[in-house]
Amino acid sequence: MEGGFLVLDFGSQYTQIIARRLRELGVFSELIPFDLDLAEIKRRKPSGIILSGGPSSVNEDQAPLRSVAELAQIAPLLGICYGMQLIASQLGGQVESADRREYGLNIVKWKKKFGAVPQEQNVWMSHGDVVKKVPPGFQVAATSGFDYPAVILSDRVWAFQFHPEVSHTDHGLDLLKAFVFDLCQAQANWQPTSITTHLLETIRKQVPEKEHVLCALSGGVDSTVVGTLLTKALGAQRVHCVFVDTGLLRKNEFSQVLETYRTLGLNVKGVDASATFLSRLGGVADPEKKRKIIGHTFIDVFKESIKGLGSIDWLAQGTLYPDVIESISLRGTSVTIKSHHNVGGLPKDLDLKLIEPLRELFKDEVRAIGKELGIAHDVLWRHPFPGPGLAIRVLDEITPANLDILKEVDAVYIDELKAKGLYDKIWQAFCVLLPVKTVGVQGDSRTYERVVAIRAVTSSDGMTADWFAFPPEFLRQLSNRITNEVKGVNRVVYDVTSKPPGTIEWE
């Protein structure tokens, strides 16, 4: 589409969010590889070009590079994080490794008023290099808390060292608006079709008549929406849902969720494979090995589940964009953060085609789709739960004893959140069983028992997150309940790490 915006992907975890934010502003945007042919970029006649962030340093031998000057001749440029460093290094500035890295929440100070943006602005950063020398023709419009250039501007090229696209940057959308409508002089004249309508049409085109789909359900929001979406598009007789009890679900979760699925009208079969999963995971502590074992075991269970269902042609999964971008690079040069059991294709011997309708969407978009499909609020707003389940929340070997402790702690935690009206204010809350024992005193006796970590974060899409500031009274009450009610635990700690530098899950 001519006149839209092109986002060049240099491998940032947040690249897809940039394109989404522009669409929210009413302008068409498209993600393209950073090295797309210049002639093709010219042919598309973009109103503006955005250079994304990325994990590389512009000073590395294998850094993804291209001519910034050539791009600036086509349309106004905006560089974000790595994009800013690329602009600076190629246009006569200097980029060096920072003495002090800037990750997570930071404050930038604007030298003068910039539209609706306050002169001290909270932003989200994730970088180790900084601009030491600004290119000729640029001015430093804002600096970071360490006095590094945070915003540099010229007549045709802007660059931000932070990420305006993420939800944790205050007034980030105002900055993108200024680039789109002030610098690029674009018009808000693009309207997307309903995502739900588009997905239903896409599914019907992708899956030929009379072909059947096996839908893997995890108990989470994503797979629930996928199962409901497919059933609405193709009918319950062609969509065979399987909900597997891995033994890694939360307390009483299998029976409760299975009943919810049946209430939604899904053609669902419950499979108790807990013995198989726990047997294969026995003695395994390494998180990547856990994920791979779980992924392979899921495939084996699905193979067995196909028997008796007749002809199955497709396997559906509730994979989301954050899963994909942490596991593999879609268009750019992003690094693998951790493997996701539902990302990376299917084994050839499974002989099924893969359908992932939500693959380039975010959690809040998925919930909006679920609402359109009539899924109840309490189902849609369940906190995210990882496909590998409690296996990656036991930072130790997977044993029935470890799982029992974690299930009981988790039940107390969620009960307290709901009782105090905090559950819906939090994006995700969970407990982690640590491979640590500490000395305690209970009943006038010495104990030497386990430590659990409590995690609670706020977010809108899972790409960035900040820890939730609980009232001290809540933490005191929660710790008291856990150490009194759960045998084997004598210490509770709270995780106050944002994403970045941490991830939401611990493994």
Task: Give strand ranges (E) for 283-349.
Answer: 314-316
CB–CB of 334/322 below 8 Å?
no
443 backbone φψ class: left, alpha, beta (φ>0; ψ -120 to 50): left
8 A C-beta contact, residue 461 and residue 15:
no
What phi and psi, each to the nearest 5 degrees, are found at residue 259?
-65, -40
Of the listed 102, 127, 163, 431, which one is catalytic? Answer: 163
Cβ atoms within 10 Å, residue 184: 21
Q: Are strands 213-217 and 239-245 parallel, antiparallel or unpaired?
A: parallel
Residue 241 annotated to the active site: no
Check 102, 127, 165, 168 and give the catalytic one: 165
Q: Is 383 noted as a catalytic residue in this protein?
A: no
Q: Please indicate whether residue 165 is annotated as part of the active site.
A: yes
Query: Of 380, 356, 358, nearest to 368 (Cα)?
Result: 380
Overall residue count recorded for the chain in this entry: 507
Active-site annotation holder among 81, 184, 215, 241? 81
Burial of 458: CB neighbours in 10 Å, binned 0-12, 13-18, 19+: middle
* Alpha carbon 224 to its chain's center: 17
Measure the CA–CA gap between 239 and 233, rounded to whole angstroms: 9
The residue ranges of DSSP E strands in 363-465, in sequence order, are: 428-442, 445-458
Q: Is there a contact between 237 and 211 (Cβ–Cβ < 8 Å)?
A: no
In whole angstroms, give the CA distance from residue 396 to residue 243: 26
Catalytic positions are 81, 163, 165
